[in-house]
């Protein structure tokens, strides 16, 4: 079993242990209602983590997404509640702002050769300050009068029959894609997992889809944010595994100078990832505000750290060139499961921060340990 398989299965079993631990203390942890709410929170963390993955692959980083999500969600909420804009128009304006802002940040970083860490750290502070100004330091509801389309982002659930039909399609597509991917790798002589490992991966994913659907349907059906998460995940998976942009990102992260000499449009590829991240940041901000019911001064705090932690836990290198969608999803599941479990047990906020930080440190240690066992010199 290769390093990737060891990491994936280690994360999976760690996730199972987390669920068993919290369920043993409080059986409501794995109840349909709590799982449904956890699904919405998972969508918020993972959507932004998928965007972070794209930025990390070429060796960049973005520390501003948490504040940015709060700011863009605040813009939409203020337009709806304070200025009576229709929800679709307000959300559209917030989305355009996200695209423009992250486009400009990407251009500043690549054109002027400035460290993404510093530029986005400045963005973290600027966006949080702008958010406070936009919502005037108070809670701004996301609906006004009879216009509650904004709230549908988290209140809408699929009918059980529709949910089962959708999951069936997703499962069949997943199986077909894995089989075809294995055949293509064998055809060109690339290393593939053993038949047993491949079957186990497919079996685990299909079982997870079935169990999640059963649980969601026991409450109100599959929440819309989970569907949005699935769409974003498929999009990012396609980009990283089957699109030219994905191959360019891995090449840039592995060796930027070599990628540049081979004709890869380095600057354009990096800017594109920031634009996509801007879209996903706006989407996350909208979902968060809808879930809470208002834009608040504390919205999306530490979200950027949770996104980075999810990527690192899932095996993404902070130097670039390594990472995948499945690992990020597992990393997000671990982070959200921990936070939700600690919240359900009534743990203090400072204890939750300590636990999240400890998990991140443990993940980095595991990454270094597995890298040494595999004889890989780049441990980042």
**pLDDT tens, position by position, 311-327:** 988 888 888 888 899 88
Q: Is residue 18 part of a domain?
A: yes
Asked if 148 and 279 sit in the same domain, the reply is yes
Asked if 264 and 121 sit in the same domain, the reply is yes
pLDDT digits (tens, 9 = 90+) for 90-137: 999 999 999 999 999 999 999 999 999 999 999 999 999 999 999 988
- Where is pLDDT greater, at 208 or 271? 271
* CA 183 distance to own-chain centroid: 29
Token duo for residue 325: 């969608």
Q: Is residue 178 part of a domain?
A: yes
Token duo for residue 85: 């804009």
pLDDT digits (tens, 9 = 90+) for 259-269: 999 999 999 99
pTM: 0.91
Q: Is residue 380 part of a domain?
A: no
Residue ending a domain, among 222, 249, 264, is: 222
Of 218, 208, 179, nearest to 195 by C-alpha is: 179
- Beta bridge partners, 295, equal 140
List Cα–Cα distances, 171 to 19, 167, 205, 206, in angstroms: 24, 6, 8, 6
Domain interval for residue 339: 3-156+223-373
Burial of 8 (0-12, 13-18, 19+ CB in 10 A): buried
Predicted pLDDT of residue 93 = 95
Mean predicted lDDT score pLDDT of the chain: 88
Asked if 48 and 143 sit in the same domain, the reply is yes
Predicted pLDDT of residue 1 = 45
Asked if 168 and 208 sit in the same domain, the reply is yes
Residue ending a domain, among 173, 189, 222, is: 222
Cβ proximity of 123 and 97 under 8 Å: no
Q: Is residue 217 part of a domain?
A: yes
Token duo for residue 196: 């047993």
Asked if 107 and 242 sit in the same domain, the reply is yes
Q: Is residue 259 part of a domain?
A: yes
List Cα–Cα distances, 342 to 355, 357, 360, in angstroms: 9, 14, 16
pLDDT digits (tens, 9 = 90+) for 23-42: 999 888 888 899 999 999 99
Mean pLDDT of 345-364: 82
Predicted pLDDT of residue 145 = 59
Asked if 215 and 345 sit in the same domain, the reply is no
Burial of 279 (0-12, 13-18, 19+ CB in 10 A): middle
Q: Is residue 333 part of a domain?
A: yes
pLDDT digits (tens, 9 = 90+) for 100-110: 999 999 999 99
Mean pLDDT of 194-202: 81
Burial of 235 (0-12, 13-18, 19+ CB in 10 A): middle
Predicted pLDDT of residue 30 = 86
Residue ending a domain, among 177, 201, 222, is: 222
Asked if 150 and 293 sit in the same domain, the reply is yes
Predicted pLDDT of residue 377 = 43
Asked if 98 and 246 sit in the same domain, the reply is yes
Q: Is residue 144 helix, strand or coil?
A: strand
Cβ proximity of 70 and 295 under 8 Å: yes
Q: Is residue 378 part of a domain?
A: no
Domain count, the chain: 2
Specify the CATH number for the domain of residue 263.
Answer: 1.10.3470
Helix and strand element counts for the chain (H, E) = 15, 2
Q: Give every CB contact of residue 133 below 8 A, 6+ residues apart in sequence.
A: none
Asked if 20 and 168 sit in the same domain, the reply is no
List Cα–Cα distances, 293 to 104, 151, 289, in angstroms: 30, 7, 6
Instruction: Please give the DSSP secondary-structure letter assigned to residue 113.
Output: T
Mean pLDDT of 349-370: 78
- Where is pLDDT greater, at 345 or 366? 345
Q: d(Cα 257, Cα 251) in Å, to the nearest integer?
A: 10
Q: d(Cα 297, Cα 121) in Å, to the nearest integer?
A: 18
Predicted pLDDT of residue 378 = 43
Dihedral over Cα of 319, 372, 308, 274: its sign: positive
Asked if 198 and 232 sit in the same domain, the reply is no
């Amino acid at each position: 079993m290769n390093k990737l398989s060891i990491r994936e299965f280690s994360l999976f079993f760690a996730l199972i242990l987390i669920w068993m631990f919290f369920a043993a203390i409080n059986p409501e942890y794995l109840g349909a209602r709590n799982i449904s709410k956890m699904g919405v929170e998972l969508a918020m963390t993972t959507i932004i983590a998928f965007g972070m993955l794209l930025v990390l692959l070429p060796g960049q980083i973005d520390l501003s997404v948490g504040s940015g999500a709060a700011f863009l969600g605040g813009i939409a909420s203020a337009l709806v509640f304070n200025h009576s804009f229709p929800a679709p128009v307000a959300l559209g304006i917030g989305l355009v702002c996200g695209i423009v802002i992250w486009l400009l940040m990407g251009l500043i970083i690549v054109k002027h050769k400035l460290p993404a860490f510093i530029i986005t750290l400045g963005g973290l502070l600027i966006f949080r300050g702008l958010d406070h100004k936009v919502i005037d330091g108070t809670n701004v509801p996301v609906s006004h009068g009879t216009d509650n389309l904004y709230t549908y982002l988290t209140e809408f659930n699929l009918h059980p029959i529709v949910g089962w039909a959708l999951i069936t399609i997703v499962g069949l597509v997943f199986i077909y894609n894995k089989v075809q991917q294995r055949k293509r790798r064998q055809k060109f002589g690339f290393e593939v997992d053993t038949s047993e490992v491949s079957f186990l991966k497919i079996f685990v994913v299909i079982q997870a889809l079935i169990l999640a659907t059963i649980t969601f349907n026991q409450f109100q059906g599959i929440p819309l944010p989970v569907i949005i998460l699935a769409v974003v995940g498929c999009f990012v998976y396609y980009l990283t595994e089957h699109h030219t942009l994905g191959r360019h990102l891995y090449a840039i992260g592995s060796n930027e100078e070599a990628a540049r000499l081979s004709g890869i449009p380095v600057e354009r590829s990096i800017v594109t990832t920031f634009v996509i991240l801007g879209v996903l940041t706006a989407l996350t901000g909208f979902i968060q505000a809808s879930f809470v019911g208002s834009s608040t001064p504390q919205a999306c705090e530490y979200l950027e750290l949770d996104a980075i932690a999810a990527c690192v836990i899932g095996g993404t290198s902070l130097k670039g060139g390594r990472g995948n969608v499945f690992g990020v999803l597992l990393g997000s599941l671990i982070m959200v499961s921990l936070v939700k479990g600690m919240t359900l047990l009534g743990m203090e906020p400072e204890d939750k921060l300590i636990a999240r930080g400890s998990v991140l440190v443990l993940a980095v240690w595991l990454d270094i340990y597995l890298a040494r066992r595999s004889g890989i010199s780049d441990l980042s």
